[in-house]
Amino acid sequence: MTGMIGYSRRSLLRLGGTVAAGALVLPPAEHPWTERRTERPAGTRDDARPGDPGPEGDPFAALRRAWRDVTAGSGFDAEAEPYRSRLAELGAAAARHRDSMRPGASSLWPGLPFPSFTATPARLRAMARAYALPGTGLTGDAGLAGAVADGVDHYRRRVYAAGAEATGNWWHWRIGVPRALLDAALLTDPHLGRQRAAALLAAVDHFAPESVLDDYDGTSTGANRVDLCTVRLLRAVLAADPGGTARAVAALSPVFPHVTEGDGFHRDGSFIQHTWVPYQGTYGASLLSGLAALFAVLRGSPWEVTDPARQVVLDAVERSFAPFVHDGLCMDLVSGRAVGRGPYGDHARGRAIAAAILLLGETASPAERARWRSLVKGWALRDTVRPMRRAAEREDLGFHARLASLLDDDGVPAAAEPAGHRLFPASARAVHRGRGWCAGLSMASDRIGHYEHGNGENLRGWHTGSGMLYWWAEGHGDQYSDSFWDTVDPCRLPGTTVSTRRPADGAGAAWGDTRPPVRWAGGATDGRYAAAGQHLTGLESTMEAFKSWFFLDDAVVCLGAGIGCSDGVPVETVVDNRRTAARLTVDRTAGWAHLEGHGGYVLPCARLRTLREERTAVPGRPPAGRAATPADGGPSAAAVPERPAAGRAAGGAAAGVAVTRSYVTLWLDHGVDPVSAGYLYLLMPGASRAVTRARAADPGWVRVLANDRRRQGVHVPSLGLTAVTFWNGGTAGPLTASAPCSVLVRERGDGTATLTVSDPRRDLEELTVTWERPVAAVPVGHPLLTAAATGRRLVLTWGRLAGREGASHTVTVRLG
Spatial CA neighbour of 290 closest among 63, 68, 62, 22: 22
**What does the H/E/C string look like for 297-364?**
HHCCCCCCCCCHHHHHHHHHHHHHHHHHEECCEECHHHCHHHHHCCCCHHHHHHHHHHHHHHHHHHHC
Calpha distance 585→636 (Å, rounded): 10
DSSP 254: G
Given a contact cutoff of 8 angstroms between Cβ atoms, the answer to whether 379 and 328 are in contact is yes
What does the alpha-carbon distance between residue 184 and residue 240 come to, in Å, rounded to a whole number? Answer: 16
Closest CA to 336 of 489, 487, 449, 476: 449
At 201, is the secondary structure helix, strand, or coil? Answer: helix
Is 274 annotated as catalytic? Answer: yes
The whole-angstrom separation of Cα 274 and Cα 252 is 18
Residue 342 phi, psi dihedral angles, 5° rounding: 165, 160
At 47, give phi and psi (nearest 5°): -100, 15
In the beta sheet, which residues pair with residue 725?
712, 742
Any bridge partners for residue 429, and if so which?
424, 442
Task: Single out the catalytic residue among 155, 283, 480, 529.
Answer: 283
Q: Which 8-state DSSP code applies to residue 94?
A: H
Active-site pick, 172, 191, 266, 274:
274
Contacts of 678 (CB under 8 A, 6+ apart): 559, 560, 561, 562, 563, 707, 708
What does the alpha-carbon distance between residue 554 and residue 684 come to, in Å, rounded to a whole number?
6
**Whole-number Å distance between alpha carbons of 457 and 341:** 8
Q: How far is it, in rounded angstroms, from Cα 263 to Cα 627?
A: 43
Distance CA(270)–CA(265), nearest Å, equals 6
Sequence-distant (6+) residues with CB within 8 A of 295 are 305, 310, 360, 363
Closest CA to 632 of 691, 695, 587, 575: 587
CB atoms within 10 A of CB 583: 18
Q: Which residue among the candidates 97, 155, 224, 470 is catalytic per the annotation?
A: 224
Query: In angstroms, how far apart are the furthest CA atoms of the chain?
Result: 93
User: How do strand 420-424 and strand 584-587 relate by DSSP bridges?
Assistant: unpaired
Q: CA-based angle 775:777:779, to the nearest 5?
A: 140
Alpha-carbon gap, residue 59 to 188, rounded angstroms: 18
Catalytic site includes residue 480: no
DSSP track, 737-769: ESSSEEEEEEE-SSSEEEEEEE-TTS--S-EEE
| Beta-bridge partner residues of 735 | 732, 771
Rounded-to-integer distance, Cα 613 and Cα 625, Å: 10
Q: Is 152 helix (H, G, I), strand (E, B) or coil?
A: helix
Judge whether 485 and 463 are in contact, CB under 8 Å.
Answer: no
Where does residue 417 rank: exposed (0-12), middle (13-18), buried (19+ CB within 10 A)?
middle
Query: What values do phi and psi take at 113, rounded to 5?
Result: -65, 145
Taking alpha carbons only, the member of 759, 727, 785, 766 closest to residue 426 is 759
Alpha-carbon gap, residue 91 to 77, rounded angstroms: 16
Specify whether 455 is catalytic. no
The residues that bridge with 599 in the sheet, in sequence order, are: 595, 685
Q: Looking at the annotation, which residues are catalytic? A: 224, 274, 283
